[in-house]
Structure 1
Amino acid sequence: MPVLEVGGSHVTGAAVDLDRGRIADGTRRRLPLTPGVGPEEFLTTLAEAANGALSVPPAISATAAPDARGIRGTWGDTWGIAVPGPFDYARGIARYHGVGKFAALDGLAVGDLLTPRLNPRPARLRFLNDASAFALGVRHTAHAESRRLVAVTLGTGVGSAFLDRGTIVEDDPRVPPEGRVDLLTVDGRPLEDTVSTRAMTARYTDRTGRPVDGLRELTALAADNDATARDVITSALRALGAALAPWLTAFETDTVVFGGSITAAWPLIGPPLTAGLTHHDPRLARLTLSVPDDGEDQALLGAAVFAARGA
Structure 2
Amino acid sequence: MSVTIGVDIGGSHISSAAVSSNNLKIIPGTYFSGAVNSKASKEIIIQKWALIINQTIKVIKETKELSSNETIGIAFSMPGPFQYQTGIAMFEGNDKFESLYNVSVSDELLKCLSTKNVSFRFLNDASCFGVGGALRQESTGNNKVVAITLGTGFGAAFLDNKLPITQGSNVPNNGCLWDKQFKDSIADNYFSTRWFSNQYESVTGEKLTDGVKEIASIENYSTAKIFDDFANNLSNFLSPYLIDFDADLLVIGGNIAKSYRLFLPKLKENFKNNNIDISVSIVENTEETSVLGSSYLFNEVFWEKIKAELPSF
Compute the TM-score of the two structures, normalised by the length of structure 2: 0.85
1:17 partnered with 2:20: yes
- The C-alpha deviation readout for 1:84-143, integer Å capped at 9, x for no partner, is 223221222333334344344443332332233223224431111122112212222322
Aligned residue runs from structure 1 range 175-254, under 5 A:
175-215=171-211, 218-254=212-248
Q: State how far apart, in whole Å, the 2-side matches of 1:184 and 1:250 are.
A: 15
Match of 1:283 among 275, 284, 288: 275
Taking a change above 3 Å as real, the CA distance of residues 211 and 52 of structure 1, as seen in their structure-2 partners, is: same
Aligned residue runs from structure 1 range 136-175, under 5 A:
136-144=131-139, 145-175=141-171
Give the CA deviation at 1:41.
1.8
Letter in 2 for 1:212: L
Q: State how far apart, in whole Å, the 1-side matches of 2:15 and 2:244 are.
A: 35
Q: Is the 8 A contact 2:13 2:33 kept in 1?
A: yes
The CA RMSD measured in Å over matched residues stands at 2.4
Q: State how far apart, in whole Å, the 2-side matches of 1:100 and 1:231 are.
A: 31
Q: State how far apart, in whole Å, the 2-side matches of 1:227 and 1:98 are.
A: 38
Taking a change above 3 Å as real, the CA distance of residues 26 and 74 of structure 1, as seen in their structure-2 partners, is: farther
Q: Is the 8 A contact 2:235 2:270 kept in 1?
A: yes
Instruction: Indicate the residue corresponding to 1:119 in structure 2.
Output: 114
Q: Is the 8 A contact 1:176 1:183 kept in 2?
A: no
Taking a change above 3 Å as real, the CA distance of residues 109 and 236 of structure 1, as seen in their structure-2 partners, is: farther
| Deviates further, 259-268 or 33-42 | 33-42
Q: Is the 8 A contact 1:72 1:120 kept in 2?
A: no
1:271 partnered with 2:274: no
- The sequence identity of aligned pairs, in percent, is 26
Give the CA deviation at 1:220.
3.3
Q: State how far apart, in whole Å, the 2-side matches of 1:72 and 1:233 are.
A: 51
Q: State how far apart, in whole Å, the 1-side matches of 2:70 and 2:25 are.
A: 15
Q: Is the 8 A contact 2:37 2:45 kept in 1?
A: no
Q: State how far apart, in whole Å, the 1-side matches of 2:179 and 2:117 are.
A: 34
Give the CA deviation at 1:303.
0.8
Letter in 2 for 1:79: I
Letter in 2 for 1:77: I
Instruction: Indicate the residue corresponding to 1:56 in structure 2.
Output: 59
Q: State how far apart, in whole Å, the 2-side matches of 1:37 and 1:75 are.
A: 33
Q: State how far apart, in whole Å, the 2-side matches of 1:6 and 1:27 are.
A: 16
Q: State how far apart, in whole Å, the 1-side matches of 2:159 and 2:69 are.
A: 30
Give the CA deviation at 1:2.
1.3
- The C-alpha deviation readout for 1:235-268, integer Å capped at 9, x for no partner, is 2332222111111111110011111111111101
Q: Is the 8 A contact 2:216 2:259 kept in 1?
A: no
Q: Is the 8 A contact 1:244 1:277 kept in 2?
A: no
Q: State how far apart, in whole Å, the 1-side matches of 2:79 and 2:87 are.
A: 12
Which ranges of structure 2 fall in alignment gaps of 5 or more residues?
305-313
Instruction: Indicate the residue corresponding to 1:301 in structure 2.
Output: 292
Give the CA deviation at 1:304.
0.9
Which ranges of structure 1 fall in alignment gaps of 5 or more residues?
61-67
Number of aligned pairs?
A: 298
Letter in 1 for 2:200: Y
Q: State how far apart, in whole Å, the 2-side matches of 1:193 and 1:21 are.
A: 35
Give the CA deviation at 1:152.
0.6
